[in-house]
Amino acid sequence: MLHSLNPHQQQNGGFSFENSRRNAVLESSLLEGAYKTPNPRKTGTTIAGMVYKDGVVLGADTRATDDMVVADKNCMKIHYIAPKIYCCGAGVAADAEMATQMMASNVELHMLNTGRPPLVAMVTRQLKQMLFRYQGHMGSSVIVGGVDVTGAHLYSVYPHGSYDKLPFLTMGSGAAAAVSVFEDRFKPNMELEEAKQLVRDAIAAGIFCDLGSGSNVDLCVITEAGVQFLRGYDKPTAKGQREGQYRYKPGTTAVLTKTETPLSLDVVDESVQLMDTE
C-alpha cells in the first residue's frame, strides 16, 4: 500500500492519506454509487458551562448517537485536561476524544517545562490552532472551562478553529434548547447551588427537547480549591415508580339488573379433520 508514494524517501509520522485514495477509487468506479463511506459516530449532544461566584460549572448529557440509533446510553463527555481545567466535547466522538487527549498531554509537557500551572487561555490557543490546521475536518466542538491564577474562565471552540469567551456557553445539537434556559435565568456571581440547578435545568432542556441528547446529566464544578466531578448528578429520564395498584377488585361495581336470553342453535354440519402430526 505504500508503493504509491515515492519508495526512495523516508516515511514520516502523522496522518496517512492512503485510505482516502482507495476510497476515492471505490466511490467513483467500482460500485457505481451503491457504495457510500460509513459515517463517523457523532455525539448529538448538549453541553453547557457557566461561570459563577467561585469558579466554573460544566454540564453535559450522556447519550452518544450513531445516526438515528443510540450507541451509548452513558458516555462521558467531560474530559480532563489539567488538574483544574476540564473540557466538554461535542461533535464527532472520536475527534473530540483524541483532541482532548492530545491537549492533556501537551498541557502536561508545558507544565513540566515552565514549572507553572496552565492557563485556560493556553489550552484554548493550542486547541484552536490544532483545529484550524485541520480546516474543520476534525469535527469536534469543545467547551473549555477552568480556574487558573488569573481567575475562572470559560471558552468555546468551534470545529473550524474560532472561539468565544463568554460567561455562559452551550454547544452541540441541543445548544439552542439549553441556551434558552441560560438566557432566561442567568445572573452574574450566582451561588453554587443555584448555579448547579441552572446548569442541570439547561441540560435537561436539551435532553427533553433534542433527539440527539438524552440519559443523565453530568456536572463538573471547578473552583480554586479543587474539582468536584458529579457523574450522574441527575437522571431526569429515569422510569417513575408506580404508586399503587390499578386493577379493580372483583365486586367493585354493583350489579343492578341481569337478563338472560337463551339462543336456540341447531347443529347443521359436523366434520372432522385429522391433523397430520407424524
Partner 1 sequence: IRGLRSQLKDSVPVAGLCPQGAYGVQDSLRSGFTSVKNELLPSHPLELSEKNFQLNQDKMNFSTLRNIQGLHAPLKLQMEYRAARQIQRLPFLPSSNLALDTLRGSDECIGFEDVLCDPGQSEVMGEPHMMVEYKLGLL
Residues with catalytic function: 45
Give the separation between CA 93 and CA 118, rounded to whole angstroms: 25
Task: Tell me how far, at minimum, the Cβ of 127 lies from partner 1, in Å.
Answer: 13
Residue 185 engages partner 1 in binding (rule: CB under 8 A): no
Handedness of CA 21, 65, 44, 35 (dihedral sign): positive
CB atoms within 10 A of CB 230: 16
Report the SS3 class of residue 70: strand
Closer residue to partner 1 in complex, CB, 126/237 = 126
**Residue 26 DSSP code:** I
Task: Tell me how far, at minimum, the Cβ of 20 lies from partner 1, in Å.
Answer: 4
Window 118 to 157, contacts with partner 1 (CB under 8 A)? 130, 133-135, 137
Instruction: With beta carbons less than 8 A apart as the criterion, state whether 62 and 206 touch.
Output: no
Closer residue to partner 1 in complex, CB, 14/244 = 14
The pairing of strands 64-66 and 69-72 is: antiparallel
Closer residue to partner 1 in complex, CB, 17/208 = 17
CA 208 to chain centre: 14
**Would you give the binding string for partner 1 spanning residues 57-96, x where CB under 8 A is met?**
----------------------------------------
Residue 22 engages partner 1 in binding (rule: CB under 8 A): yes
Give the separation between CA 87 and CA 155, rounded to whole angstroms: 10
| Residue ranges that bind partner 1, judged by CB under 8 A | 1-4, 6-18, 20-26, 28-30, 102, 105-106, 109-110, 113, 130, 133-135, 137
